[in-house]
Amino acid sequence: MTALLETPRQLAYLLASRVEDVCRELLPAGKREGHEWRVGSVHGESGKSMGVHLVGEKAGVWSDFASGDSGDLLDLWAQVRRVPLGEAMGQARQFLGLAAPAFVNTAKAYNRPKRPQCATPKSAVRDYLAGRGLADDSLKAYAIGERGRTIVFPFLRDGELLMAKEREAVDGAKPKPTESDCEKTAFGWQAIPETAREIVITEGEIDAMSSWQMGFPALSVPFGGGGGNKQDWVENDFDHLARFDVIYLAMDNDGPGREAAHELSKRIGPERCRIVNIPAPFKDANDLLRDGCTGEDFHLLLKKARSLDPDELKSAVEYTDAIIAEFYPANGGCEIALETPWQKFTEKFRFRPGELVVLQGINGHGKTEIAGNFVVHGIGHGARICVASMEFKPAKWLKRLTRQAAGIERPSEHYIRDIANWWASNLWVFDVTGKAKSERLLQVFRYAARRYQIGFFVIDNLAKCGIDEDDYTGQKNFIDGLTDFAKEYDATVLLVCHPRKVEDENRAPGKMDVKGTGAITDMADSVLSIWRNKPKHDALEKAATQQVAPPPEHALAPDAVLTCFKQRNGEDEPKIALWFDRASHQFLERSSQRPRKYVQTKLNEMEAA
């Protein structure tokens, strides 16, 4: 099984493992002669001027002796099909049967900026940038504009203007977007050759142009150094970045620059990122250019670039702040974790980053409903969540989730669209019905964590993860993979499980009743169990049939009980009585409590009934 994020080099290697099939696909007019596939040229006519190695270490390497062109099979694919490298990668993946991640998510609407009123730099802007060491060719490559003494930086991708920034042509001025709510993207895609497999990413637009002038195509992050939301542009450019084997991170030589390099390496993939160390006393690529750095000098600097140290290797002193937080938590004494919808339960239990939580329940006792309660409440608190529900098609369980978000049984079409917009940037769906291979599930989760910074994952349920009921080793390995994933990406994983078959549903299952290997509960950080009050349900049904009042002890009893049977990083194992609202599918803390409306709309009052 290959990874989801194949680099061009990896795809070329996979194509080479099927080199003759590739040749027959791309160059059917050619024929095999000994250890080579012979054809006239990349245009596909018969002949012998071009050869593709079919065996040995050079399998997949080709040369056109008439034109002098050569490369690997991915290069060949792009040339024969006459498509850019990124599109060739997509076609090659399809040929190899490498499926892309299947997500359902409402696309966010962005503002497309007006075309800036500017001209080719000829006076103040040109003079200023020349003083920064930049030649006219660099300005042309990046389509820099001039309006009086204002520099215009267009953020183009695939020829479309997604954003624009402006700054005064004076030292110390900061570029600012010309309009709000535009799509975040890296600066400089217009200057990147379609065949490039290596790229430099800098911390500023002028630094990107400086790198280009020294011979290395470069992009710039759109909002400077630092981590967090400042690097969310990666989400939008992720597919375009996938076409590079090596990405050199030449951030500024300061704290925010190092923080940005670490964040980008984590999100893009540390296996292909290299950290460029800008030597003191210089701060950035433009400083180097102005000091006379040549292309050869810059090339040597890139050759010295190294990957970040493994995350597992740290000095103990790095944990000082975390240790202090353990003794003296911030936020009024509350740890950083995701709350549940019920205050009494949240006081003693929370979903913590880096943990695997198992949720069990008998069929029909509300496992999926209560997981939906967790999801909607999490979205309401800003969490980014990915759900893999293999028992229902996405539209079916999203219908139930919509009810839970609305707090009513049948929201209007207008209200449904408001809800869809509410979770547009926070909810992703792993779109598969039936069994999903556990390895594939983990691959997609890693992709989602890196690209979209998703921090809460739901798997409903273990029985649908492609592992046989009696394959305890396979179950243990999967649970081990989930715990490793949670810790590596600082994410929470909620795994829904079935209990062993019980003869009496009147008894709530305990921690030892989870179906499967004992490693499930041993390795999980927390174990929750939802139990539906079957005696109450049966008593109410009987009373309704006999048209009599139900016994008081059942009429006032809760509909369900949520119990925590294990909490490795907490001091309590709480239990809470819950009442189920059938219309909204919400579990409530009190029988008199009304369902919560997570999404407010002007039509709420009209739909309350």
Domain residue limits, the chain? 8-104, 124-303, 343-607
pLDDT at 313 over 80: no
Q: What are phi and psi of 157, to 5 degrees?
A: -145, 125
pTM of this prediction? 0.72
CA–chain centroid gap for 455, Å, is 9
**pLDDT on residue 205:** 97
Residue 15, H or E segment: helix 8-16
**pLDDT on residue 334:** 44
**pLDDT on residue 333:** 44
pLDDT at 336 over 60: no
- For 132-160, write each residue's pLDDT tens digit: 999 999 999 999 999 999 999 999 999 99
In angstroms, the CA 74 to CA 592 distance is 64
Q: Going by DSSP bridges, is the β-strand pair 273-275/246-250 parallel, antiparallel, or unpaired?
A: parallel
Residue 548, H or E segment: none
In angstroms, the CA 210 to CA 32 distance is 47
Q: Give the percent of the chain with pLDDT over 70.
A: 93
Token pair listed for 352? 């913590």
DSSP assignment of 30-64 equals: -EEETTEEEESSTT--SSSSEEEE-SSTTTT-EEE
The answer to whether 139 touches 206, Cβ cutoff 8 Å, is no
pLDDT at 102 over 70: no
Domain 124-303 in this protein, CATH class: alpha beta
Which residue reads 């079935």 in tokens?
498
pLDDT at 72 over 80: yes
Mean pLDDT score, 367-379: 95
Q: Would you tell me which CATH number, out of the four given (3.40.50.2000, 2.40.10.120, 2.40.128.20, 3.40.50.300), belongs to the domain 343-607?
A: 3.40.50.300
The answer to whether 278 touches 124, Cβ cutoff 8 Å, is no
pLDDT at 513 over 90: no
Of 64-78, 345-359, 387-401, the least confident: 387-401
- For 222-275, write each residue's pLDDT tens digit: 999 998 889 999 999 998 999 999 999 999 989 999 999 999 998 998 888 999
Token pair listed for 493? 């994983």
For domain 8-104, the CATH superfamily is: Zinc finger, CHC2-typedomain (3.90.580.10)
